[in-house]
Amino acid sequence: MAEKKRTATAALLVFFFLGIAVLTVAGFATTSWRPEVASRHGEGVDRVITYLLCATGVIFVLGHGVLAWFVWKFRSAEGPAHAPPGRKVEWAWAIGPALSMAVIAEIGVLFLGMPVWGQIYGETPDDAVLVEVVGKQFEWLVHYPGKDGEFGRTLPEKVNDVRNPIGLDKKDPAAKDDLVFRGRLVLPVSRTASVRLRSHDVLHSFSIPQFRVKQDIVPGMQGHTQFEPTKPGEYEIACAELCGLGHYRMRGIVLVMEPEEFEEWLRKQRGWFE
């Protein structure tokens, strides 16, 4: 009777562990849980995520399989409770998994991660669109350098929420034709955007999920990221860092358009002090 009870318990545990593994793999394989990709480096980011999930998923399933086998094999109470392995076996179990994990990690870093890193933090192309995004509670301010291609000087004492939200210095000639928009970033498709990031107050995080872009913005420090949109359309800028009671409404819009349309839009804009 006791033997049958142990066998039934072991069988239930085996089905439980294997069931969790199967459901996890099936959920990942059949559910479209990621937003669409709309940037060049975003495809590489997805490859890294998929590789990591597959690698850890295989380890997860194998681990549950071994655990289920142990539960079934040693369900009987007969024999010694513990049989010490030899030293070679102990070394093999210690070094083998560590080396396997190191190889898996380095494959991901060298062949998948480094190319993506180079696209985000590598050299900026000469024809890149220069833009500055300023985070403040609870909105995004977008600053273009204007026709002269130079950002005008900004000063904290010049900041005025209505007349001068980013604090442009009117005495600086480069500031005259600068463009400033609230919550709207306009970019051309298939052209790198080099984005300079600042915060006016607290910690924010510049995030565009469809572009696989997320960069923290630390007060007092200038951040930077770059990406190349690949699909025209409208996308959301979100703040991915809790920044206060109004965090939920800190959102902006990215408009990606054809290059000719972008140049036409740019020509029609007037500078902040023009």
Q: Each residue's pLDDT tens digit in the chain (274 positions)?
A: 556 666 677 677 777 767 777 777 777 666 677 788 999 999 899 889 888 888 888 888 788 778 778 777 776 666 666 667 778 888 888 888 889 888 988 888 888 888 888 888 888 898 999 999 999 999 999 999 988 889 999 999 999 988 999 999 999 898 889 999 999 999 999 999 999 999 999 999 999 999 999 999 999 999 999 999 999 999 999 999 999 999 999 999 999 999 999 999 999 998 887 7
Among 189, 202, 197, which residue's Cα sits nearest to residue 142?
A: 197
Distance between CA atoms of residues 170 and 164, nearest Å: 10
Q: How far is CA 130 from its chain centroid?
A: 21
Are 75 and 7 in contact by the 8 Å Cβ rule? The answer is yes
Give first-to-last CA distance, the chain, whole Å: 92
DSSP-derived letter for residue 85 is P
Among 99, 74, 83, which residue's Cα sits nearest to residue 7?
A: 74
Query: In this structure, what token pair is assigned to residue 117?
Result: 């890193």
Give pLDDT, residue 237: 97
Contacts of 234 (CB under 8 A, 6+ apart): 253, 254, 255, 256
Q: Which residue has the tokens 């086998």?
A: 69
Give pLDDT, residue 57: 81
